[in-house]
Amino acid sequence: MRKWSIIFFLIFAVLVSDCAFAQVAVTKSTEIQLIDGKPFYIHEVQKGQTLYSISKAYACTIEEIKTVNHIKDNSLQTGYLLRVPVHDKKVNTTDVINTTAGNIEGSEYVVQRGESLSAIAQKHSTTIEIIRKMNPGISDNITVGQTIMVPVIAKPVAVDSALYHTVIVGETLYGIAKKYLLTINEIKNLNPGINESLSIGQQIVVGSKSDAEEEIKHDTTCNCEQPEKLKEYNVALLIPLYLDRSSFKEFDSNHHDENEWYQNIAFSYIQFYEGMKFALDTLKASGMNVNLYVYDLDDTEAKLSKVLNNPSMQTMHLIIGPFLGKYLDTISQFSYKHKIPMVNCFLSGQTELKEINPYFFNPITSVEYQMKGLADFYSLERKESNVIIAYQLGSFEEKAAMMLDSFLRHHQYPSWKLVNLSESGLKGATIHFVGGKRENILIVLASGELYVENIIRSLNEYKEKYEISMYGLPSWLSYDVLDLEFLEFQNTHFFSSSFINYEDEEVRDFAKRFQKRYKADPERLAYAGYDLGLYFLSALHNYGPKFYQCIDKHQLNMLATELNFNFSPADGYRNTYISIYKMKDFQLWKVK
């Protein structure tokens, strides 16, 4: 019996010995974070480490570690970031340096219906990996009502005079620079060696505490009641006329017939200039003296350099252009440096400046403001309707859908659904239709001629049973395959930052005068040239070189455009106006 006892004892001793050697040695972290004024070591769990071994290494109790990290059992996952209380009195908290590892602070979150780990990660500006680290053992099959830990980015506590920014998911160096009203060069000078590849939790110096509250120096000395005016004004129009290619014909390489050519690129934007000339003539008749400098600026480096190095450019009171996005940021930097207001004529609402410019005007309403305008319209005038937002995946349409969803949520709109057409098709939207006399607003954020035509035709079978109003993109109107009869049958609405009412008397008068002078029908660019020229030149005439400080007082009736600017020191003046119009009697009529 004694022999077997010894054998059992030896086996037990070997097992204990194996367990002891299996535990990975814990190296005490040198990274300390001040959180709510208390110092914590930031320890990353290695494979084989336990709460017991970690607590011994840091001379604290297991319960202390579990309490500050909201751990309910004794299990740990590799890579988990633990906050360990600092009990060492030799550590001077005034010398503590913030580290990227300690910026993850947890809070409890209750899973809502339909949410996935991916959705929750996006909602809290984090990644699935970090959520897994904070919730050891969590699976992809989360349930409604389940409580999980999600990260909260802890505000950095600087130990010197520097002001820090902690990078979160999706942020770029450009975005951070603009947020703190810095140029890229300024932020690079504050952070030697920094590059555009940022990591979540990375800390970036964005200034000092002493100037944290300062705003960008933007001249606000204009007296709008008695503005300082000049006898004459210099205005630069940076427009691609392609004069050096006016006699060229470019072969269409997609065809083998040598007689088939591309349309000549020269004078593609000539109607904008012609429309602006009408506005200029109107203002000159009212006593305004304008020196218009026209620069043929296309996408060539040589022309850009020639324009910006021309001494006369620094004497301008207004820059209109460019029309191509390639050099938008370069022109904007010139505008900011010399404090010359500029009007973006790159006719896209998706314009995003890389650098700050408080003198920048964008008359084209961005996607964000268009979606906000739609949400405002539905909330004020279509409160009883059932809204379905149907979008294509992976493009700007998806981004627009998420924005509209967010704005409707902000308005606490009573009934709407978000549908991914790329996954569920049109049926994913139609299953949410409601019967009776209640209106179903179907917003189709999708593009592609055949794709859109198929959606419109497929909706026909639902018209007898449901009240449907469809909202589509203005680009649909350029699709050759779309039948206007189908658009009208679906009570189709459109939205954009401009609308031309061809039944309007002033529009008709402008068209007649344009036809008489230029022997051509005015197109979209002609109306844009007239409206923008009339608006900004009259603002210059009424309020002088600092007209931008009085732009909220400048009201003007125009042919196709309405301007309602929102100002930010980083992005300048952005148009927030949205036109909503519908197809009726095979024509477009303004609704809002």
pLDDT at 220 over 80: no
pLDDT at residue 159 is higher than 60:
no
88 vs 172, which has greater pLDDT? 172
**Mean per-residue pLDDT, 130-137:** 76
Residue 577, phi then psi, degrees to nearest 5: -75, 145
Residue 118 confidence (pLDDT):
80
pLDDT band at 584 (very low <50, low <70, confident <90, very high): confident
pLDDT tens digits, residue range 507-522? 999 999 999 999 999 9
User: Is residue 261's pLDDT more than 60?
Assistant: no
Q: Give DSSP secondary structure letters for 452-473.
A: HHHHHHHGGGGTTTSEEEEEE-
| Between 215 and 136, residue with greater pLDDT | 136
What is the longest distance spanned by two Cα atoms in the chain?
A: 121
Question: Residue 89: is its pLDDT beyond 70?
Answer: no
pLDDT, tens only, 429-467? 999 999 888 999 999 998 888 888 888 888 888 888 999
Predicted confidence band of residue 265 (pLDDT cuts 50, 70, 90): confident
Residue pLDDT, tens place only, 62-87: 888 887 776 766 777 666 778 888 87
- 3-state DSSP of 551-570: HHHCCCCCCCECCCEEEECC
In this structure, whether the domain defined by 32-153 belongs to CATH 3.10.350.10 is answered with yes
Residue 131: count of CB within 10 angstroms of its CB? 22
Contact 391, 401 (CB under 8 A): yes
Structural fold of domain 162-211: Membrane-bound Lytic Murein Transglycosylase D; Chain A (3.10.350)
Every domain of the chain and the residues it spans: 32-153, 162-211, 233-362, 367-496
Write down the residue that tokens 């500006």 correspond to.
Answer: 125
pLDDT above 70 as % of the chain: 82
Confirm if 571 and 357 have CB atoms less than 8 A apart. yes
pLDDT at 499: 87
Q: Please calculate the CA angle 220-226-229 and round it to the nearest 5 degrees.
A: 85
Cβ atoms < 10 Å from Cβ of 126: 21
- Could you tell me which residue, 154 or 292, shows the higher pLDDT? 292
Q: Which residue has the higher pLDDT, 400 or 235?
A: 235
User: Do the beta carbons of residue 367 and residue 397 sit within 8 Å?
Assistant: no
Residue position matching structure tokens 């020191």: 569
| Backbone phi and psi for residue 295, each to the nearest 5 degrees, phi listed first | -110, 125
- In the numeric block, the tokens 């070997």 are attached to 14
pLDDT of residue 235: 96
Kindly report, residue by residue over 384-435, the tens digit of the pLDDT.
Answer: 999 999 998 877 788 888 889 989 988 889 888 999 988 888 899 999 999 8
**C-alpha–C-alpha distance, residues 373 and 564, integer Å:** 12
Cα 278 versus chain centre, distance: 35
Top-confidence residue, 215 or 415: 415
Residue 10, pLDDT score: 34
Q: Are 299 and 324 in contact (CB under 8 A)?
A: yes
Q: Is the pLDDT of residue 312 over 90?
A: yes
Joined together, the tokens standing for residue 290 give 């304008």
For residues 468 and 51, the model is more confident at: 468
Closest CA to 385 of 459, 460, 491, 486: 491
CA 102/CA 67 separation, integer angstroms: 17
Q: What is the DSSP string of 312-369?
A: GGGG-SEEE--SSGGGHHHHHHHHHHHT--EE--S--TT---SS--TTEEE-SPPHHH
pLDDT band at 326 (very low <50, low <70, confident <90, very high): confident
Distance CA 237, CA 52 (A): 73
pLDDT of residue 389: 93
Average pLDDT of the chain, as a whole number: 80
Instruction: Report the length, in residues, of the chain.
Output: 592
> What per-residue confidence (pLDDT) applies to 317?
96
Contact 373, 390 (CB under 8 A): no
pLDDT given at position 298: 86
CATH of domain 233-362: 3.40.50.2300
CA–CA distance, 360 with 312 (Å, rounded to integer): 20
Q: What is the pLDDT of residue 87?
A: 78
> Which residue has better confidence, 149 or 259?
149
Confidence of residue 99 (pLDDT cuts 50, 70, 90): very low
Quote the tokens at residue 421.
């057409």
Domain 32-153 identical in fold to domain 162-211: yes
Tell whether domain 367-496 is in CATH 3.40.50.2300. yes
Residue 217: is its pLDDT beyond 70? no
Would you state the structure tokens that stand for residue 62, as one six-digit string?
Answer: 């297991």
CA distance linking residue 574 with residue 364, whole number of Å: 8
Q: What is the mean pLDDT of residues 297-309?
A: 88
To the question of pTM greater than 0.85 for the whole model, the response is no
